[in-house]
Every structure is written in structure tokens, then in C-alpha cells.
């Protein structure tokens, strides 16, 4: 066993809401990750202010994705910021 002090399976640590993965609009596996873990494991990444950012167009691209349901899109566009910045 490589991590003998871990009491749970690795997937359980990924699902417990303390680890986040960034989601940019071009990444093909965002929908699969939301199905495997939960949509609450991903957060919106604009890549702003880098020179190669696609903001704000990437918001529209994410909004049109068919592999994300409305709840996942709401999480990406609003609820992640509320959680990460402890906003009400």
C-alpha cells in the first residue's frame, strides 16, 4: 500500500468537497468528471488576465455545453465563487 495512513479510498477524498479542479471551456472531460465525482468538484477558470485568455467568450462556450446540466452550470458560473470566497 502506497499511502498506509489513508483511511478511505482515493475517490472518497476527491468527492468530499475539499479538492477542486479548474474547468476551462475547451476541456473535453468536464462532463465526465461531474458524473464521476460531482459538479461541485470543478470550478470556473477564466485564465484572465493571461494574454491567451478566451474570457469572456469561454463563459458562452461553457454555457452551451451539452454534457453539463443546468445545476452544474449554475455551480460553475456563480456558486463556486461564493464557496471559494465565503460569500453568502
Q: Residues 45, 23: contact at Cβ < 8 Å?
A: yes
Q: Residues 19, 38: contact at Cβ < 8 Å?
A: no
Peptide bond into 49 cis (omega under 30): yes
Per-residue pLDDT of the chain (88 residues; tens, 9 = 90+): 678 888 898 888 888 878 888 888 888 999 998 998 888 888 888 777 777 778 888 889 989 999 999 999 999 889 988 888 898 7
The SS3 assignment for 52 reads: coil
- Rounded to 5 degrees, φ, ψ at 72 are -65, -40
Identify any residues that bridge with 19 across adjacent strands, giving them in sequence order. Answer: none
Rounded to whole angstroms, the Cα distance separating 67 from 72 reads 10
Note the pTM of the prediction, 2 decimals.
Answer: 0.77
Amino acid at each position: 500500500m502506497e499511502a498506509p495512513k489513508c483511511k478511505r479510498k482515493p475517490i472518497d477524498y476527491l468527492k468530499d468537497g475539499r479538492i477542486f479542479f479548474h474547468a476551462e471551456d475547451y476541456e473535453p472531460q468536464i462532463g465526465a468528471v461531474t458524473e464521476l465525482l460531482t459538479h461541485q468538484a470543478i470550478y470556473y477558470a477564466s485564465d484572465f488576465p493571461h494574454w491567451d485568455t478566451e474570457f469572456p467568450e469561454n463563459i458562452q462556450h461553457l454555457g452551451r455545453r451539452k454534457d453539463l446540466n443546468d445545476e452544474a452550470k449554475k455551480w460553475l458560473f456563480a456558486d463556486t465563487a461564493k464557496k471559494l470566497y465565503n460569500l453568502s
